[in-house]
Amino acid sequence: MTMFNKILIANRGEIACRIIQTAHQMGVKCVAVYSEADRNARHVALADEAVLLGPAPSRESYLRIDKIIEAAKLTGTQAVHPGYGFLSENAEFAQSLADNGLVFIGPPIGAIESMGSKSAAKTIMERANVPLVPGYHGENQDRELIKAEAGRCGYPVLLKAVAGGGGKGMRVVWKEAEFDEAFDAAKREGESSFNNGDMLVEKYLTKPRHVEIQVFCDRHGNGVYLGDRDCSVQRRHQKVIEEAPAPNIPADIRQAMGEAAVQAAQAIEYVGAGTVEFLYDEDGSFYFMEMNTRLQVEHPVTELVTRQDLVEWQLRIAAGQQLPLTQADVILRGHSLEVRVYAEDPDADFMPATGRLNYLRTPAESRYVRVDTGVIEGDLISHFYDPMIAKLIVWDEDRDLALRRMQQALEDYRICGVKTNLGFLAKLAGSESFKSFDVDTGFIERHHDQLFTKTEIDENRYIALSACYLTLARKAQAVNPSDPSSPFNRLNSWRLNHNYAHPYALIHADNTHKVTVLERDSDYLINVDGVEFQVKGVLNNDQLNATLNGHQFAVAVFQQDDAITLFHDSLQFECQRQVEIHDAADSGQQGSLKAPMTGTVVAILKAAGSQVEEGEGLIVIEAMKMEQTIRAPFAGTVSEQFFKPGDQVGDGVELLALEPLAEDATSAAPEAE
């Protein structure tokens, strides 16, 4: 078969969307599967058809092999793409698919199994002459034997649970005296975490880099590598930023790693996309670490420097086609970086965060910027799944240019409603040490202080900008569209011939700032806790261009109710407008259309001629930081509004005329003058 007609994607989020996009470009129909929590998810919307698997928890949905196979049969699917995570390296799943006549878009089952065990993988790599870290990974688990092997390596050594992975079940032993205790503890942990206490021991490399090779093999014995990636910048074994090519590696070593990786893959008759991970030491030596038998999260950086679509390669190879390129055809150009945008709280040790994406603006995509995401504005980031919001990938001719692209793209990535790691990523991408590639697996730890200290900000400045925004937003709302230049549109009460400094109370990080805004002929005088700013500002939708005491700011703003968020450079400043809103009802003014107190008209909610229901807001008066909404005491028609926004009104002054609806003539008419 040259190509499938229909595939099922047994995954969700960005990778499911990404696979669907390529499949559609190839004219392949897509079936999505989803949980109850993902009914409205982007991957369901993008697919041609979708099948509900079950409740939100993965074990009841995305990990339900039986349900996925049922969905495949129901929809006449020919092949299943597992994405990454979930069932992507589950041999039982691959076997069940085969048993049901479905093609698994991935490696042979044997490859999944042999790479699943660290010691089995090492034995295979050893036979394929792939360099291993000096150490012992044999069957004999006698502690004294392993201890003797450790002594042969020379301390420090690393004890690793054979069934471990991703950093779990590892223990560094700095000197022989500590060996016994460490061995016993690591064994216990292996037994409890992986139901397998078998250990291997290796020479511990103190400043390694994580360099990996993308390999592809087809069913016709062809194998190529598509360059390398550096994924050393990790936090608790979670990759944070990945790049291709891996910087500062001599060409001969790069080639040797690539060829060793292909050799290893062909040693196990690999088919499909695979990644061979190496530890790259400071002296230029490299050692096999692990092999991943799936498409990696970070595959886009390889796509951008090779200009190849790796999902297309996967589909072609699974359908029996030959590799699209020979090794000689693989040309690498430029440099690519990827960051993973996560819903997590940097102030809470990067705990996963949940929340709704109330405001979501992504950088403009181009040949330099790519956003792989599974969410849209308004989506909920739940606790059920990995809290990845998106992958942000950039490319340019060299690393410095690509890094600048990344910094700008991070600034243009704006999210409100859920905490994210965007600020941390911006710090990382902007750090001198990352720019100069002083990178190894200990990077984040080594630069912890620089990466995690909050940048000092001039709070008053951002409070002033927030007040400027609120003022301009209110003006925009209050302006009488039929006569925008009318003096009534000024916020201050020009009628009484004195200027009125509009009061705000803005709260940031538990500090309440007293602010006044005084509109003058050509600017605003904004006073923040006694500090004065001369401010000019123009507001276009969510873009505020303001000059504070001659200093120009281009700021993006998002307001949700009384929460205002400013985005400036890679900073996100949030403040809360303190408004005690009391309806007329709260102050015993029920049913009155009179001003409940001396104050300023801040908004006309229903213009003359509007039909209103009982209880609808008609006009808002503000004084002493309190807003009061005057509501219709009965259904009727607003026959006249006596005032405009910005006017001063005295206590008890009649604010508007409201005519009851004809049939309501009998109901209580407003109080007589």
- In the complex, the residues that contact ligand MV4 under the rule CB under 6 A are 133, 158, 166-167, 202-205, 208, 210, 232, 234, 237, 279, 289-290, 441
Burial of 283 per CB tally in 10 Å (0-12, 13-18, 19+): exposed
In angstroms, the CA 149 to CA 253 distance is 28
What is the nearest approach in angstroms of ligand MV4 to the Cβ of residue 112? 18
CB of 290 to ligand MV4, least distance (A): 6
Record the tokens describing residue 655, joined without a space.
């604010």
Of 165 and 617, nearer to ligand MV4 (C-beta) is: 165
Q: Which is nearer to ligand MV4, 209 or 513 (CB)?
A: 209
Beta-strand pair 626-631/656-660:
unpaired
Amino acid identity of 361?
A: R
**Nearer CB in complex with ligand MV4: 238/499:** 238
Question: Which pairing describes strands 656-660 and 636-641: parallel, antiparallel, or unpaired?
Answer: antiparallel
CB of residue 198 to ligand MV4, shortest distance in Å: 16
Closer of 289 and 451 to ligand MV4 (Cβ): 289
* Phi and psi angles of residue 531, each rounded to the nearest 5 degrees, phi first: -90, 125
Tokens 């991408």, located at residue = 429
| Residue with smaller CB distance to ligand MV4, 43 or 210 | 210
Q: Of 229, 294, 399, 414, which one is the catalytic site residue?
A: 294
What are the CA-CA distances from residue 35 to residues 71, 151, 332, 476 (Å)? 13, 52, 40, 43
Work out how close the CB of 87 gets to ligand MV4 at its nearest, in angstroms, rounded to a whole number: 21
Closest CB 135 distance from ligand MV4, rounded Å: 7
The two tokens of residue 489 are 């549109």
- In 99-133, which positions are buried (b, 16+ CB within 10 angstroms) versus exposed (e)? eeebbbbbbbbebbbbbbbbbebbbbbeebebbbb
Strand order in the sheet with 286-292: 286-292, 272-280, 209-217, 223-235, 238-244, 335-342, 388-396, 369-373
Instruction: Find the largest Cα–Cα distance for the chain.
Output: 102
Q: Minimal CA–CA distance to 162: which of 141, 181, 148?
A: 141
Residue 281 beta carbon to ligand MV4: minimum distance, rounded to whole angstroms? 9
- Give the DSSP H/E element, type plus range, for residue 450: helix 448-452
Distance CA(244)–CA(225), nearest Å, equals 13
Nearer to ligand MV4, 134 or 430 (CB): 134
**Which one, 218 or 277, has the nearer CB to ligand MV4?**
277
Strands 335-342 and 388-396 turn out to be antiparallel
230-234 contacts, C-beta under 8 A, 24 or more apart: 230/439, 231/298, 232/208, 232/439, 232/440, 232/441, 232/443, 233/428, 233/434, 233/439, 233/443, 233/444, 234/210, 234/441, 234/444
Q: How far is the CB of 279 from ligand MV4 (least distance, A)?
A: 6
Nearest distance, CB of residue 244 and ligand MV4, angstroms: 16
161 vs 464, beta carbon nearer ligand MV4: 161
| Residue 234 vs 314, nearer CB to ligand MV4 | 234
Q: How far is the CB of 194 from ligand MV4 (least distance, A)?
A: 14
Do residues 68 and 50 make contact, with C-beta atoms less than 8 angstroms apart?
no
Is position 254 annotated as part of the catalytic site?
no
Nearest residue (CB) to ligand MV4, 302 versus 570: 302
* Distance separating alpha carbons of residues 607 and 633, to the nearest angstrom: 16
Q: How far is the CB of 157 from ligand MV4 (least distance, A)?
A: 8
Q: Which of 369, 297, 270, 644 is nearest to 490 (CA)?
A: 644
Which residues is 360 bridged to in the sheet? 415
CB-CB neighbours of 666 under 10 Å: 7
Say if residues 81 and 24 touch (Cβ distance below 8 Å): no
Residue located via tokens 């969510």: 542
* Catalytic machinery residues: 294
